[in-house]
Structure 1
Amino acid sequence: MKHLLLTILTTTLIVLSACGGGADKKAPEINILPPVEEGFTLQNIRFDSRDYYEGEQVTVIEGIRFEVQWISPTSAAYRIDLYLSINGDVYSDDNKIAGLKCGSASFSLCPNATGEVQCVIDDNSLSCSFGNKSVGSESFQDNDLSSLRFIIRGCDALSNCDVKTFNLSVQNNTGN
């Protein structure tokens, strides 16, 4: 009799534990959110190793090189286009300085998420290069120095883009 009672009790415990112990438990609700589409956002835009935020004024000296750096949100393939805007113009093929393919070990100018170019304003022109290799230039009229804008546009492979605009203040080089 003890064995029969023990067998029934053991079977009951196994069945109850398999059913969640007999307690009235609700299955947890799982809220599955749709995947958030991540945009492409350029980060840490730097001019001569100093962080700048979109819309800020960047002071450069005529004839003196300055470095522009950026960080992409991914090291996957992306594109960086640099523009010089005069009198509030938006970016377009007409004012493009350079277009760089970035984010892959096969791209030598910016093989990962971090990229940089050196630029100089001289003789009414903004020119940018990587090392000794010119990546492009854009001319402007001398009287437009107060309205220059440097525009950086980055896009990922899915055409998600981010645009950052900076006001350029060009000062004369008094060291000549």
Structure 2
Amino acid sequence: MAENLGSVRRDGANRVVMRFERRLAHPPAKVWRALTDTGELAAWFPATVAFDATPGARLRFDLTPEAKRRLDIPSDLDTVSAGEITRSEPPHLLEYTWGEEVLRWELRPDGEGCVLVFTDTVVVDSGEVPDDPAYFAEAASAWHACLDALDALLAGRPGTVAAWDRAAELRGAYDRALA
């Protein structure tokens, strides 16, 4: 269960970087579509996204109903947040903000597939994100599960990975890794 665990490390006094690396059996162009197409994002990303991969484009995120339920957020609470595309070099590099976070997706060809390196850089103690290992264990397990769901989508098995259940399975491994 603990294979492919991501890493969580401090990067300066007020930033934490979660990093995940996956070998995917799909070319960068196919993975790029899954990272940028609103319909494909809906199958694995933890929020609905109004997405335009043009540098400078504004993004709109809203937690899914399942995310709200699992996070104990009232269903009628407004969870819309904003972001912006900071870098876009199809099909190799995509970077954007989501609130106080910077999400970076790097794709490099590897044989008939590619290697995906995903990093989520978070500013801690910003008022939005606590400086708490438990918070990052939960966040890392959730991203890990989302990447499992992305891999299932790319393999033609969308919906076969219950990301929230998978994140709960992974939580203990990330708690131990951050202890």
In the superposition, the TM-score normalised over structure 2's length comes to 0.33
Q: Which has the higher strand share?
A: 1
In the superposition, the TM-score normalised over structure 1's length comes to 0.34
Structure showing greater Rg: 1
